[in-house]
């Protein structure tokens, strides 16, 4: 069986070309670096943070950035840098699981719909997708968290539900064009049924699309989680979260702007990093698009 | 065109029915009796029953759904559990803040995005293009409620150009009210303007590489003339679709921004209702917003078909 990736990547000397392309793609390198900073920060927070975020230090509350606390302290005297590192865990975990939910349900639905194109099943799946798509996701997320109570898990479910149609659509459209290809015909002649073809031949060839979209949904998930936490519907205290840090800083913004500045910058830079990485990956996987759409 | 409109209308009706069933059932599975909640723990059984009758809580699931939907169709959204006032009235008051805010933001977003997108596309690869692309990349990534907070620090607290929040009411004068909606509208518009500018740019670049633009150029039009007379009109189609879709994001996005500026709109209403477990208000506001979004999407699809005849005949 041929390597499925040869459909989109140059076959000869692939590793060298990959590295070369990655080096040339500024977006990818900057995006990857930004994302890694926050992922490493989050992982590091399991082992070490500059200060303990559970201990209150009222004597040192609301201090601007200094050599002692690089990003200052909050209204309980907690170190903001440490809070941001631990908060990154929440943001990343929520977004990763939400993207996971979208892929686990969306990709099989998309593959299934494409394999039975034009059938009632296809129609039902796509109409249901349109329906979920038509509703403002934030609104339904608010409804879900209002009913089942605010928590990180409910935020994940609420964000994840809206990832399902995104991945279903993408998988279906990617799969539909693949079903026309000769190597699929060959697989059918070889006697494979459509389920097996979907898994063995279609899926590996839509992986690139899924990775790019996954990166973008990841960044949207981080924004959504921040928004929900900001209005008190995301992760609950004492779990630190960037959105709630912003909410807590709001009443003190006139005399302690640093409390609002750094969590917001953390969100901005993470989302920016993921978006740049998504753009860079798309260029990398599909060099044809590189010149026309930047 | 009739056939197209009818099929779209059918899918509109199905969307609304499914949405209402989902919202109704979601509220329905919640534990707790609103009547007991309203009257407190010492209420007599017969008063509870009387109130349940009054609120329409005694019927079967199907009867309650029918009366909820029937009520909404005739403009009766029920009675708030906590304020004992008609929900329709509460929504009506708040809508006069949320709707103008969404429209204001939409106008700002369009006014910013069109020139930026056109300028970037017409000077592709130049410093202008790079700047527009860089700024919009930031605009897409910025959490708008955080941007709103930064604007409060700069324009309300330091420069004192605007008030930090609140809404005087339309009775106090049009311009004063508009002024208090300005910072929220900018915060809402920024991410949408960034997306729209990018869509505008790429749609223009796509049409600029079409044959009819080359023909126009060969005919002797300058690049700018070709862009304005031929490319722009064709690029508008995808841009209009995005504008329509953004309206729904603006309505929903307003929910969070209203909280930053303490604006007494639908967003504040929904959060007050959530914390007071006033679920009939939550139910009605969510349904109303979903309704607005579905209607706007429908209007966009129809407008789209009017502009582009090819669509009417595609299934």
CATH number of the domain bearing residue B153: 1.10.3720.10
Q: In terms of CA atoms, which chain B residue is nearest residue A263? A: B146
- The minimum CA-CA distance between B47 and chain A, rounded to whole Å, is 27
Among the listed residues B285, B98, B257, the one whose alpha carbon sits nearest the alpha carbon of residue A140: B285
Helix (H) or strand (E) holding B278: none
Which domains does chain A show, CATH number per domain?
14-293 (1.10.3720.10)
**C-alpha distance from residue A260 to each of A244, A252, A255, B252 (Å):** 10, 9, 11, 23
Tell whether B49 and B137 lie within a shared domain.
no
Domain-located, residue B84: no
Q: How many domains does chain B have?
A: 2
- B53 lies in the same domain as B100: no
| DSSP three-state, residue B174 | helix
Chain A residues contacting B via beta carbons under 8 Å: 127, 130-131, 134-140, 142-144, 146-147, 219, 223, 226-227, 230-231, 246, 249-250, 253-254, 257, 260-261, 263-264, 267-268, 271-272, 275-276, 292-294
Q: State whether A250 and B149 contact (CB < 8 Å).
A: yes
Distance between CA atoms of A37 and A260, rounded to whole angstroms? Answer: 20
Same domain, B165 and B272: yes
Model confidence pLDDT, tens digit, residues B19-51: 888 888 877 776 666 666 667 667 777 877 777
Q: Does any domain span residue B279?
A: yes
Q: pTM, whole model, 2 decimals?
A: 0.83
The chain A residue lying nearest B22, using CA atoms, is A140
Flag if B146 and A143 touch (Cβ within 8 Å): no
Q: Do A260 and B153 touch (CB under 8 A)?
A: yes
Q: Are residues B108 and B223 in the same domain?
A: yes
- Chain A residues inside the 8 Å CB shell of B187: none
Model pLDDT for residues A89-125, shown as the tens digit of each residue: 989 999 999 999 999 999 999 999 998 888 888 888 8
Q: Does B221 touch chain A (CB under 8 A)?
A: no
Domain membership flag for residue B81:
no
List the domain range (segments joined by +) for residue B31: 2-73
Same domain, B284 and B199: yes
B79 inside domain: no
Same domain (yes/no): B159, B227: yes
Q: Which of B10, B20, B133, B274 should we substitute to test contact with A (largest number of A Cβ atoms within 10 Å)?
A: B274
Give just the sign of the alpha carbon dihedral B228, B234, B235, B236: positive
Do B270 and B127 fall within a single domain?
yes
Look at residues B17, B40, B73 and tell me which one is the last residue of a structural domain: B73
Domain-terminating residue out of B73, B100, B134: B73
Judgement on whether residues B141 and B214 belong to the same structural domain of the protein: yes
Q: Flag if B153 and A253 touch (Cβ within 8 Å).
A: yes
B34 and B178 fall within a common domain: no
Q: Are residues B174 and B108 in the same domain?
A: yes
Q: Which of A142, A249, A271 sits opposite B141 (nearest CB)?
A: A271
Question: Is residue B146 included in any domain, yes or no?
Answer: yes
C-beta of residue B247 within 8 angstroms of C-beta of residue B255: no
| Same domain assignment for residues B227 and B117 | yes
Per-residue three-class SS string for A37-89: HHHHHHHHHHHCCCCCCCCCCHHHCCCCCCCCCCCCECCCCCEHHHHHHHHHH
Domain-embedded: residue B147: yes
Last residue of a domain, one of B12, B42, B73: B73
- Does residue B23 sit in the same domain as residue B117? no
Inside any domain, residue B196: yes
Residue B82 counted as domain residue: no
pLDDT tens for chain B, 315 residues: list them: 778 888 888 888 888 888 888 888 877 776 666 666 667 667 777 877 777 777 666 777 788 888 888 888 887 887 787 777 888 888 888 888 888 999 999 999 999 999 999 888 888 888 888 888 889 999 999 999 999 999 988 898 888 888 877 788 788 888 888 888 999 999 999 999 999 999 889 888 888 888 888 888 888 888 778 887 788 877 877 787 788 778 877 877 788 898 888 888 888 888 888 777 777 888 888 888 888 888 887 887 787 777 777 766 654
């Amino acid at each position: 069986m041929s390597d499925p990736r040869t459909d989109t990547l140059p076959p000869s000397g692939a590793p060298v070309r990959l590295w070369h392309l990655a080096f040339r793609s500024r977006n990818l390198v900057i995006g990857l670096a930004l994302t890694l900073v926050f992922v490493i920060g989050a992982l590091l927070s399991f082992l070490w943070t500059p200060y303990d975020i559970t201990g209150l230090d009222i004597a040192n509350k609301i201090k601007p950035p200094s050599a002692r606390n690089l990003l200052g302290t909050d209204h309980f005297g907690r170190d903001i840098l440490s809070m941001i590192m631990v908060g990154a865990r929440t943001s990343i975990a929520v977004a990763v699981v939400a993207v996971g939910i979208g892929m686990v349900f969306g990709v099989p639905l998309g593959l299934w719909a494409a394999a039975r194109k034009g059938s009632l099943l296809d129609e039902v799946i796509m109409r249901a997708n349109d329906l979920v798509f038509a509703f403002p996701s934030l609104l339904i997320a608010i409804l879900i968290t209002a009913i089942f109570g605010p928590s990180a898990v409910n935020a994940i479910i609420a964000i994840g539900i809206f990832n399902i149609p995104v991945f279903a659509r993408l998988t279906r459209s990617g799969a539909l064009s693949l079903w026309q290809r000769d190597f699929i015909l060959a697989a059918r002649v070889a006697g494979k049924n459509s389920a097996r073809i979907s898994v063995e031949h279609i899926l590996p060839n839509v992986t690139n699309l899924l990775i790019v979209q996954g990166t973008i949904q990841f960044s949207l998930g981080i924004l959504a989680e921040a928004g929900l936490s900001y209005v008190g519907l995301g992760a609950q205290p004492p779990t630190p979260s960037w959105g709630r840090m912003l909410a807590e800083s709001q009443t003190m913004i006139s005399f302690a702007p640093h409390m609002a500045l750094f969590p917001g910058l953390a969100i901005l830079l993470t989302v920016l990093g993921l978006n740049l990485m998504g753009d860079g990956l798309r260029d990398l996987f599909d060099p044809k698009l590189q010149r026309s759409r930047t | 065109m009739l056939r197209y409109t009818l099929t779209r209308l059918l899918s509109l009706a199905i969307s609304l029915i499914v949405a209402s069933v989902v919202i109704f059932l979601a509220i329905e599975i919640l534990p707790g009796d609103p009547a007991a909640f309203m009257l407190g723990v010492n209420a007599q059984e017969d008063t509870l029953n009387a109130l349940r009758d009054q609120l329409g809580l005694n019927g079967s699931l199907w009867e309650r759904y029918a009366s909820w939907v029937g009520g909404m169709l005739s403009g009766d959204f029920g009675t708030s559990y906590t304020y004992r006032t008609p929900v329709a009235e509460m929504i009506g008051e708040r809508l006069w803040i949320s709707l103008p805010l969404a429209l204001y933001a939409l106008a700002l977003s369009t006014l910013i995005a069109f020139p930026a997108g056109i300028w970037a596309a017409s000077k592709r690869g130049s410093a202008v293009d790079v700047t527009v692309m860089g700024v919009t990349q930031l605009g897409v990534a910025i959490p708008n409620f955080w941007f709103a907070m930064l604007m409060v620090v700069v324009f309300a607290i330091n420069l004192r150009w605007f008030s930090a929040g609140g809404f005087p009411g339309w009775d106090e004068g049009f311009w004063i009210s508009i002024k208090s909606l300005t910072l929220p509208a900018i915060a809402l518009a920024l991410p949408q303007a960034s997306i729209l500018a990018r869509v505008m740019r790429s749609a223009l670049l796509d049409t600029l590489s079409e044959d009819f633009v080359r023909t126009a150029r060969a005919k002797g039009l300058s690049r700018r003339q070709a862009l304005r007379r031929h490319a722009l009109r064709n690029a508008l189609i995808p841009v209009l679709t995005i504008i329509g879709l953004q309206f729904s994001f603006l309505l929903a996005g307003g929910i969070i921004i209203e909280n930053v500026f303490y604006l007494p709109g639908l967003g504040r209403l929904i959060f007050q209702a959530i914390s007071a477990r006033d679920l009939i208000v939550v139910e009605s506001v969510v349904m109303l917003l979903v309704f607005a979004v579905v209607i706007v999407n429908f209007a966009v699809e129809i407008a789209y078909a009017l502009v582009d005849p090819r669509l009417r005949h595609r299934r």
